[in-house]
């Protein structure tokens, strides 16, 4: 039986929103719990808040940064709304937003992690892990890493196992890369971000409550370095 699911989250671009809204859409330095649960919900084909919220409360996660990528996030300029004939950006009342009588265009700046690769460990009861592992290998909806433009470079499923804790799982599970990847850029003692009990770490608001209303509960996570050097395994493409 297995209590831990492993996910390899790797892409040229990733963006994991946590505490920014409106025009400045920044990214967390690693995948958030809401982002990982959202990815699992895509695999399961779920779109309702009840099941997704229950899954978020049922699992605990940890993340290991095997490839940190570029030192600073990419900053990309976007515009929202405007339209050609009819305004597409609405006010809080649901009315067309106008500037000087013309359709309003809102400039935004969105941030992305570049060339990063993370190992995420998800722990729950063995029945939940079996369900998630199957869904991750036979997903209902396509995956993306934070934004729809961030397509993973490889299937996220990276195995299952039985471990005493998330820390134990992240310490022992190897970093598996395809032959020819930039394994020389891996971190020898990667950074770990581990979900923990209240008071044992830093409070973060990324426990999903409602997708429809973008509501999140707080949870706690602590940071530390991997105690043993990272073990790298090369796998061949089939």
The span from the CA of 202 to the CA of 184, in Å, is 32
Predicted pLDDT of residue 41: 95
pLDDT of residue 70: 83
- Ranges of H-type helices in the chain: 33-44, 49-58, 126-137, 166-172
Does residue 91 form part of some domain? no
Over residues 206-219, the pLDDT tens digits come to 888 887 777 888 99
CA distance 118 to 40: 16
User: Which uninterrupted H or E stretch holds 168?
Assistant: helix 166-172
Pair type for strands 98-99 and 102-103: antiparallel
Whether 163 maps to a domain, the answer reads: yes
Query: Quick one: CA dihedral 169, 121, 156, 117, positive or negative?
Result: negative
What's the rounded Cα separation, in Å, for the pair 199 and 101? 52
Is 12 within a domain? yes
Count up the domains in the chain and report the number. Answer: 1
Per the CB < 8 A criterion, the answer to whether 237 and 182 are in contact is no
* Global confidence as pTM: 0.88
Residue 104 belongs to a domain: no
- Asked, for residue 97, whether it belongs to a domain, the answer is no
Residue pLDDT, tens place only, 104-158: 677 889 999 999 999 999 999 999 999 999 999 999 999 899 988 899 999 999 9
Model pLDDT for residues 43-87, shown as the tens digit of each residue: 999 999 999 999 999 999 999 999 988 878 999 998 777 665 565
Q: How do residues 182-208 score in pLDDT, each as one tens digit?
A: 777 889 999 999 999 998 999 998 888
Instruction: Please check whether residue 21 lies inside any domain of the structure.
Output: yes
| 79 belongs to a structural domain | no
The range of the structural domain enclosing residue 192 comes to 4-68+115-235
Please state the φ and ψ torsions of residue 39, each to the nearest 5 degrees.
-65, -40
How confident is the model at residue 89, as a pLDDT?
67
Any idea what the CATH number is for the domain that residue 215 is in? Answer: 3.30.70.2660
Distance CA 45, CA 159 (A): 20
CB 106 within 8 A of CB 115: no
Q: Is residue 94 part of a domain?
A: no
The mean pLDDT value for 15-37 works out to 88
CA 111 to chain centre: 14
Dist. CA 2–CA 162, nearest whole Å: 5
């Amino acid at each position: 039986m297995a209590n831990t699911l492993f996910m390899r989250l790797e892409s040229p671009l990733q963006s994991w929103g946590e505490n920014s809204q409106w025009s400045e859409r920044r990214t967390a330095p690693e995948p958030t719990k809401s982002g990982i649960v959202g990815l699992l919900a895509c695999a399961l084909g779920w779109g309702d808040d009840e099941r997704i919220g229950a899954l978020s409360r049922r699992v605990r996660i940890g993340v290991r940064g095997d490839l940190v990528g570029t030192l600073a996030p990419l900053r990309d300029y976007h515009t929202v709304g405007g339209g050609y004939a009819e305004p597409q950006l609405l006010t809080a009342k649901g009315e067309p937003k106008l500037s000087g009588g013309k359709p309003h265009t809102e400039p935004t700046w969105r941030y992305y992690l570049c060339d990063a690769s993370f190992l995420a460990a998800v722990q729950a009861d063995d029945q939940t892990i079996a369900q998630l592992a199957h869904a991750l290998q036979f997903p209902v909806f396509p995956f993306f890493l934070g934004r729809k433009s961030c397509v993973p470079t490889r299937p996220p499923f990276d195995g299952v196992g039985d471990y005493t804790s998330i820390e134990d799982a992240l310490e022992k599970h190897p970093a598996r890369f395809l032959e020819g990847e930039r394994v020389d850029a891996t971190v020898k003692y990667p950074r770990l971000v581990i979900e923990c009990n209240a008071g044992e770490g830093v409070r973060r608001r990324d426990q999903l409550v409602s997708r429809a209303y973008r509501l999140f509960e707080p949870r706690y996570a602590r940071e530390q370095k991997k105690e043993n050097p990272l073990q790298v395994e090369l796998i061949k493409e089939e």
